[in-house]
Amino acid sequence: MGYIFKDKKVLIIGGTGSFGHQFISRILETEVKKVYCFSRDELKQFEMRQKFEDKRLCFFIGDIRDYDRLLMAFKGIDYVIHAAALKQVPACEFNPFEAIKTNIIGAQNIIQAAIERGVRKVIALSTDKAVAPINLYGATKLCMEKLFIAANNYVGEGNTKFSCVRYGNVIGSRGSVIPLWLKAEKEDKEFLLTDIEMTRFWITLDQAVNMVFIGFRSMLGSEVFVPWLKAIKMVNLAKAINSKRPIKIIGIRPGEKIHETLISLEESSRAFSNIDGDFYVIVPDKKMFSRYRNLQINTDFEDYREYSSNNADYLKEKEIKEMIECLK
């Protein structure tokens, strides 16, 4: 799928994070003309510069709250990936307007700058927490999705296109539970689990990057792309790391769900799968289905039911252990 980036200038916002590292590693294997990494952290940019010794990779220091800086960075850019966000649920709950300024106002700044500069395609990264959100982080990502989908109403035919990619927890990303439990195992500590029934969707960084590649290849504007993912029972994850390690149930935290949802019941009537069934596309209106005849296999998503980590296929024990081994 790398052909879609041939001779293109691509900018990734929030590019020094886990996703950004994997995306930049993959896109530099293509015939991309230039890759620009936009972020606030000069140290992380310095470290990335040491890791990727490629003259096609450039770095911009900036903040998505600063519209003028975005406008400057977007000059001459063909494709943009929006991966910047405040993501820690407790931090967003304690600092709500900071989350709003970055995750919502920052998203609007990106949209306006992209339209002003005539960027061809823009994809924003979203999360299952945006579906029926119960915490501020999820609510801000829902607003971001709505902004990006609605942005297509404000551009003419053939101009800037906006879409989103929505997925679950990224395996091994910073602050995720697997590295924390691996650390607890080394330190001979118990595993902390909020609820014995808790389930989550899991995706590898490589799968997340693939989904963005698919989005750029397939998008016509206004879609939310959702990969087909397996879920995991968190207690089984803990046992796979070390079945002899004690598990302490600490109770569900404010803003936390027992199960996450990738496609809601209401969205399911506007969702369809691609030919291979490895991803879904959610559109604002069922009338738009006819635009995707090259992808479409069925217009009814699972007889109109939500796609939840409570009713999804689960990772088997062998798959869980293989996943953990890759992180050690």
149 within 8 A of 164, measured Cβ to Cβ: yes
CA dist., res. 242 & res. 258, Å (int) = 22
Residue 220 main-chain phi, psi, to 5 deg: -115, -5
Residue 225 φ/ψ, nearest 5 degrees: -90, 130
Structure tokens at 262: 């990738």
Q: How far apart are CA 151 and CA 227, in angstroms?
A: 23
CA distance 225 to 305: 17
Active-site residue identified among 9, 121, 129, 161? 129
Neighbours of 127 (CB within 10 A): 24
Catalytic annotation present for 75: no
Rounded to whole angstroms, how far apart are CA atoms 302 and 74? Answer: 40
How far apart are alpha carbons 167 and 208 in whole angstroms? 8
List, as one string, the DSSP characters of 21-78: HHHHHHHTTTTBSEEEEEES-HHHHHHHHHH---TTEEEEE--TT-HHHHHHHTTT-S
Indicate the DSSP class of residue 309: T
End-to-end CA distance of the chain: 30
Per-residue tokens: 10 = 């691509």
Query: Annotated active-site positions, please?
Result: 129
